Amino acid sequence: MKRNDIIGIVLISSYVVFLIFSWILGFTPGKEISQNFGSFSVEMLKILPCAFILIGLFEVWVKRETVERHLGEESGIRGHIWAVLLAGIPVQLYVALPVAYSLYSRGAKLSVIFTYIGASAICRVPMTIFEASFLGIKFTAIRLLVSLPLVVIASMLLGDYLMKRNYKIMAGK
């Protein structure tokens, strides 16, 4: 076993022991942490399997050439616009990361991936509608008109910086 694996096992075991003793001793913050962890886990189990099935279907059905044409090296600003539009779809932010990796592995440009991830955090349709209903359409429009160009510009700069250094996203173990 590697040292990092042992550290991971010790940390997870310590967390589980903490949660168990919190319930035994009546430690309220520990009990609340375990309840939040449980509800978050249930939410993840409801969403992630469907998301991974859709990502798998995307991998099979969408040709690499299509992704490269719309989101690849030659896509220009059009690729960033597609990324922003695609980013508005996911309901949960943690679904955006596997989608981003899938797009990258199918030939999307690194800066377009950064735009997708950044836009996923700020312009999801359900969140935008919720925000507009409480803070007003004017506030939401100003926020989007200011933040989206900043995300695209920062993504382009970061993507160019990393491409000049031949950066590649590595797959997991």
- What residue spans define the domains of the chain? 1-49, 62-173
pLDDT tops 90 at residue 54: no
Interhelix angle 77-87/64-71, rounded to 10 degrees, is: 110
Residues 118-170: tens digit of each pLDDT: 999 898 888 889 899 999 999 999 999 999 999 999 999 999 999 899 887 77
For the chain, the average pLDDT equals 90
pLDDT tops 90 at residue 98: no
Q: Is pTM beyond 0.85 here?
A: no
Q: What number of other Cβ atoms are within 10 A of residue 111's Cβ? A: 26
Interhelix angle 125-135/137-164, rounded to 10 degrees, is: 140
Exposure string of 117-150, with b = 16+ CB inside 10 Å and e = fewer, is: bbbbebbbeeebeebbeeeeeeebeebbeeebee
Which stretches within the chain are classed as H helix?
3-25, 28-61, 64-71, 77-87, 96-105, 110-122, 125-135, 137-164
How sure is the predictor about 171, in pLDDT bands with cuts at 50, 70 and 90? low
pLDDT tops 70 at residue 172: no
